[in-house]
Amino acid sequence: GKKSAAPKPDMTVKQFKETVIKHLRSTLGTYEEKASKQAWNQAIAASVNEFIFDGVSRTRKTHAGKDARAVHYLSLEFLMGRLMSNNLQNLGLYELADKAMKELGFELADILEEEPDMALGNGGLGRLAACFIDSMATLALPAIGYGIHYEHGLFRQEFFKGRQVERPDQWREFGSPWEICRPESEQVVKLYGYVETVYENGGSHKVWHPGRTMRAIPWDIPIVGYGGHNVNVLRLWESRADKFFDWDVFNSGGYVDAYTESVQAETVSKVLYPNDETDAGKELRLIQQYFFSAASIADVMRRFRNAHGNDFSKFTALNALQLNDTHPAIAIPELMRVLVDEEGISWAEAWKMTRETFSYTNHTLLPEALEKWPLRMIQHVLPRHMEIIFEINARFLKDEVETKWPGNDGIKRKLSIIEEANGQMVRMGNLSVVGSHAVNGVAQIHSDLVKKDLFPEMNELWPGKFLNVTNGITPRRWMKACNPRLSTLIEKHVDADWPRYLEKLTALKPLADDSKFQKEYMAVKHANKEDFVKVIKELTDVDVSADAIFDVQIKRLHEYKRQHLNLLYIMALYRRLLINPDYDMHPRVFIFGAKAAPGYYLAKEIIFAINKVAEKVNNDPRIKDKIKVVFLPNYRVSLAEKLIPAADVSQQISLAGKEASGTGNMKLALNGAITLGTLDGANIEIAEEAGEENVVIFGMDVDEVVETREQGYNPGHYYQNNEELKAVLDWLDSDFFTPGEPGLLSAVKHNLVDHDPYMVLADYQSYSDAQSKIDALYRDKKAWARAAIINTASLAKFNSDRSIQDYADTIWNLKPIKAAAK
């Protein structure tokens, strides 16, 4: 059967047109002849909101009536991208809107370009949160996302003479139609001050006298589940300065601090930290983390008290709190503070409730990326929380570690939430493990390493606490909406509800050898590439051919992701062509998209080097357009949606053991790109699902990496013994790519030859050989088409609905509740 999961909306094209025009006039204050594309965009959004707001209310009433258990997904980042096309798709309104706009003389796709990306995240972790809330709504799970309403999301990237320049992001410059301010749910967040011990009735309790309070204002973004029945919300907190100071506290201590910090109140939700993986412990970042954690916990408590007063017996039965990495880990002592200090619940009881409520997802093993805060800073900003952390730690070490390993100070030192070396630090990872009932990694190998390398003793202490939930992506955005041509082709062969049940794509497997289907599938890819040729031209002024292999590496710029390995190979290919103009290869376009953290020196040097090599390669007539190199500026969700459907090769070339999962790898493979990757993160599972013959794997695996390091890794050895590798590295020292200015690209060379922390040189030859396999495979048109089709047909595991079902079953113990129909 071809039953459709998305309901047919009870609206006609004519009615939709009338609604849009109504909003153009009454909401936007303009009219058809005068309205800008932007005004049309807003009018469509207002029309769509008529459906959405109704869904928000229906869903809310359903949950309130049922006293439903709910999950609260706490994340510093939600990388939502654009919302219009997704909302239209999930409501089943897309085709209707498309027709309506055509009748009004517009291309809907064109008008959708007016919407700025909501870039409230850095990369993988933030986009994962966005896919997850889509799936939670789709699965009708009572769920709410909590985050920060950043005024400025991730910076806009420009290139100036090949170097990255950061410009502020202005996603709300003209307001956003998708958010609803909820002033009635404002919360107060306290900071600084001191803690008083009050003795009474033979006992004592703690009173925190904050040095400052600030206001947290919630903005709700409706999250429309696929099919439109269920609409959840993403609640983002905006900080505002309090209208007045608490003068008593002001006078009693911290006067200067409180005053100079007062400027910060409004800056707390001003800007997203653009550093993924690492950042030095900045006080403002700690305050951001606490600000939204405290506001969110207060919101959970308010909702609970409204239903149950001060009877907390049902608290754990009704609430799950998920920590997206350690960034919101301060929520653990905050919940303890509220339960113990404000509700008068005993420590033992409160701790039991806290642990049952929290769970923690780890997204990295990189030691420099594990969050640590100076104890002094937490003491200063959150004095009561520091006391609570001490108490949690003391009880943990005494009752649990000492019992298991009596008298073992080494293990205590290792497991302690407080690190005693180089000034005391609070280890947020340890706090998160100790305060949670479940800890998960994001791909199988990563979860194994979390147990084996990161928290081995914790795993001994609590076998069963550590789990794997492999990441996923929403097929609604990452196939149905972004790749309409492939979706249309798919729908000729599989049930229409495939965006919900992605395993239905396995019905395509028998077609992988069907030459008619192969041609249709590759024609779709070619058409998508033709579209993207225009995007490349527009953004970079480089002319490329859609007949070339589109070889894509899109992800944040990081040494461990090894964009410079890709670069070395491009240089080697270029050199081969200069040495032998008849060098046999299929034309290739290397496409990069990547932002570097503004303070990450080497990452910025790598961007510069790629841009300089690109400039030279793209303008060298000797190589007859066999290679083009394109570094797309300002890579972001909306650009990914255009590029991924056009990709032939998906580069996933991190050093084994370093990429926790990756999710771009899933998006690209689903859209028919062949993975060129290491045995790292979810690449391993993609190879398992698609079959090893349908991916190209190279390089050391995790065990070989460990072995190579133990033998004393010497990058100079590879440099000296590989003629081509030596030649391209030396090339970076010359002025060949930077005429008249030798040495401009030397930092990249010397980092590799002298240090090479991510073993680029060790994997170089294997990578180069793998690239040759890609070339050969592509030239066998049928073999390539077959492999690409099998990839599309085999990726059901990476549906984020499956990830969320895993969380619901194994961590949250959460059941769906379908919202009442209209």
Task: Give whichever of 71 and 128 is closer to ligand 26Q, judged by the CB atom.
Answer: 128
Q: Which region among 50-58, 86-94, 277-285, 787-795 touches ligand 26Q (by CB under 6 A)?
A: 277-285
* Residue showing the smallest CB distance to ligand 26Q in the complex: 124
Q: Which is nearer to ligand 26Q, 560 or 608 (CB)?
A: 560
**Which helix (DSSP H) or strand (DSSP E) does residue 553 occupy?**
strand 549-554
| Cβ nearer to ligand 26Q, comparing 269 with 487 | 269
Residue from 75, 474, 566, 663 in contact with ligand 26Q (CB under 6 A): 663
Rule CB under 6 A: choose which of 49, 661, 803, 805 binds ligand 26Q.
Answer: 661
Based on the shown chain and the rule CB under 6 A, indicate whether residue 662 belongs to the binding site for ligand 26Q. Answer: yes
Candidate ranges 276-284, 313-321, 341-349, 805-813; the one touching ligand 26Q (CB under 6 A): 276-284
**526 carries an active-site annotation:** no
Distance CA 770, CA 656 (A): 16
Residue type, 71: V
Among 235, 285, 303, 529, binds ligand 26Q (CB under 6 A): 285
Is residue 245 a contact partner of residue 209, using CB atoms and an 8 Å limit?
Answer: no
Q: Which is nearer to ligand 26Q, 87 or 122 (CB)?
A: 122
**Considering beta carbons, is residue 127 or 500 the nearer one to ligand 26Q?**
127
Query: Among this protein's residues, is 519 annotated catalytic?
Result: no
- φ/ψ (deg, to 5) at 651: -90, 120
Alpha helices by DSSP H, listed for 405-443, are: 409-415, 428-434
Q: Which of 667, 675, 786, 792 is catalytic?
A: 667
Using CB under 6 A, pick the residue from 169, 299, 559, 659 that binds ligand 26Q: 659
Question: Could you tell me the smallest distance in angstroms from the CB atom of residue 536 to ligand 26Q?
Answer: 26
Single out the residue of 154, 789, 83 nearest to residue 477, CA to CA.
83
Q: Is the Cβ of residue 597 or residue 753 nearer to ligand 26Q in the bound state?
A: 597
**Residue placing its CB nearer to ligand 26Q in the complex, 124 or 145:** 124
Q: CA torsion, points 667, 163, 604, 643, in degrees to nearest 10?
A: 0
Binding to ligand 26Q by residue 273, rule CB under 6 A? yes
Question: Of 135-143, 144-152, 275-283, 537-545, which segment contacts ligand 26Q by CB under 6 A?
Answer: 275-283
Taking CB under 6 A as the criterion, the residue among 69, 190, 363, 667 binding ligand 26Q is: 363
What's the closest the beta carbon of residue 366 comes to ligand 26Q, in angstroms? 9
Catalytic residue among 561, 562, 636, 658: 561
What residues from 669 to 688 belong to the interface with ligand 26Q (CB under 6 A)? 681
| Residue 693 identity (one-letter amino acid) | E
- 765, burial (CB in 10 Å: exposed 0-12, middle 13-18, buried 19+): middle
172 carries an active-site annotation: no
* Span from 61-69, 299-307, 498-506, 657-665 in contact with ligand 26Q (CB under 6 A): 657-665
Q: Which one of the spans 475-483, 582-590, 661-669, 686-694 is the region binding ligand 26Q (CB under 6 A)?
A: 661-669
Secondary structure class of 160 (helix, strand, coil)? strand
In the complex, the smallest distance separating the C-beta of residue 157 from ligand 26Q, rounded to whole angstroms, is 17
Q: How many residues bind ligand 26Q (CB under 6 A)?
A: 22
d(CA 353, CA 628) in angstroms, rounded, equals 58
Are 681 and 443 contacting, i.e. CB atoms less than 8 angstroms apart?
A: yes
The stretch near ligand 26Q (CB under 6 A) out of 263-271, 381-389, 543-551, 656-664 is: 656-664
**Nearest distance in Å: CB 153, ligand 26Q:** 13
Q: How far is the CB of 140 from ligand 26Q (least distance, A)?
A: 24
Closest CA to 767 of 567, 552, 547, 548: 567
Show the tokens assigned to 650.
Answer: 């998906």
| Under rule CB under 6 A, residue 442 binds ligand 26Q | yes
**Residue among 213 and 652 whose Cβ is closer to ligand 26Q:** 652
Q: Among residues 82, 190, 235, 555, which one is catalytic?
A: 555
CB of 685 to ligand 26Q, least distance (A): 12
**Which two tokens mark 309?**
């007063």
- Please state whether 147 falls in left (phi above 0), alpha (psi between -120 and 50) or beta: beta
Residue 276 near ligand 26Q by CB under 6 A: yes
Q: CA dihedral in degrees (727, 733, 735, 740; nearest 10)? A: -160
Alpha carbon distance 473, 151 (integer Å): 26
Residues 24, 31: Cα–Cα separation, whole Å: 6
Asked if residues 235 and 145 have their Cβ atoms less than 8 Å apart, the reply is: yes
* Pairwise CA distance, residues 326 & 334, whole Å: 14
* CB of residue 771 to ligand 26Q, shortest distance in Å: 23
Q: Which of 471, 528, 563, 678: binder of ligand 26Q (CB under 6 A)? A: 471
Residue 556 is among the residues annotated as catalytic for this protein: yes
Instruction: Identify whether 555 is a catalytic site residue.
Output: yes
In the shown chain, the binding pattern of residues 366 to 405 toward ligand 26Q, with x for contact by CB under 6 A and - for none, equals: -----x----------------------------------
Looking at the Cβ atoms of 469 and 732, the one nearer to ligand 26Q is 469
* Single-letter residue type at 596: A
Cβ-based nearer residue to ligand 26Q, 162 or 472: 472
Say whether 363 is catalytic. Answer: yes
Q: 364 or 768, CB closer to ligand 26Q? A: 364
Q: Which residue, 270 or 773, has its beta carbon nearer to ligand 26Q?
A: 270
- Give start and end residues of each alpha helix (H) in 693-759: 702-710, 715-721, 723-733, 746-754
Q: Which of 284, 287, 296 is nearest to 236 (CA)?
A: 296
Piece of 14-22, 304-312, 659-667, 767-775 that binds ligand 26Q (CB under 6 A):
659-667
Q: How many residues does the chain have?
A: 822
Instruction: Please give the Cα distance from 546 to 728 (Å, whole number).
Output: 28
Q: For 769-785, b where at least 16 C-beta lie within 10 A, e where not — what string?
A: ebbeebbebbeeeeebb
The three-class DSSP label of residue 471 is coil
Residue type, 386: M
Residue 328 near residue 292 (C-beta atoms within 8 A):
yes
Query: What whole-number distance in Å separates Cα of residue 794 and Cα of residue 508?
Result: 9
Q: How far is the CB of 547 from ligand 26Q (least distance, A)?
A: 32
SS3 336: helix
DSSP one-letter code for 509? G
Burial class (CB in 10 A: 0-12, 13-18, 19+), 580: exposed
Q: How far is the CB of 645 from ligand 26Q (least distance, A)?
A: 21
Q: How near is the Cβ of 742 to ligand 26Q at its closest, in Å?
A: 35
Helix (H) or strand (E) holding 26: helix 13-26
Distance CA 693, CA 304 (A): 53
Q: Which of residues 128-167 bind ligand 26Q (CB under 6 A)?
A: 128
In the complex, least distance from residue 686 CB atom to ligand 26Q, rounded to whole angstroms: 12
Binding mask 100-129 for ligand 26Q (x = CB under 6 A): ----------------------xxxx--x-
Cα separation, 415 vs 427, in Å, equals 9
Q: Which residue has 């060379």 as its token pair?
A: 749
Rounded CA separation 297/316 (Å): 13
Nearer to ligand 26Q, 128 or 795 (CB): 128
- Does position 275 interact with ligand 26Q (CB under 6 A)? The reply is yes
Interaction site with ligand 26Q (CB under 6 A): 122-125, 128, 273, 275-277, 279, 285, 363-364, 371, 442, 471, 659-663, 681
For the annotated catalytic residues, the residue numbers are 363, 555-556, 561, 663, 667
